[in-house]
Amino acid sequence: MAEKTVMLCCSAGMSTSMLVKKMQEAAKKDGLDYEIFACPAAEADTNLENKNISCVLLGPQVSYMLADFEKKVEGTGIPVEVIDMAAYGMMDGEKVVQQAKKLVG
């Protein structure tokens, strides 16, 4: 099992899955033991219940869901943030891994 688990959420899980691959490469290069996966926002509750999630990153296209996600994780200590739009647009896995790293310590 990985040391940290990063869940990316977007509307369908498709665009973030491309970013996941780049993030996995960046995490490996940086020597980080991270499990990184993407899911549609509709599956977030199931993953939050069944996995040991370290942080949640939302795709910019679902940034309007931030308050909902903050409520979902209230009291769990799981940080939630919207992925930096420029990093998302450029599919900059390294930059998004660093954002996750800041959240999980």
- Residue 39 is part of a domain; what is its CATH number? 3.40.50.2300
Low-confidence ranges of the chain (pLDDT < 70): 13
What's the confidence (pLDDT) of residue 12?
Answer: 83
CB-hemisphere CA count at 13 Å for 23? 28
- The residues that bridge with 80 in the sheet, in sequence order, are 56
Indicate the SS3 state at residue 20.
helix
Within 10 angstroms of residue 48's Cβ, the number of other Cβ atoms is 17
Instruction: Give the domain extent around 8.
Output: 4-104
Q: What's the pLDDT score for residue 74?
A: 96
pLDDT of residue 14: 75
Catalytic residue (one of 9, 10, 39, 55): 10
pLDDT of residue 9: 95
Total structural domains within the chain: 1
Instruction: Mark whether 10 is an active-site residue.
Output: yes
Q: Give the tokens for residue 68.
A: 């909902």
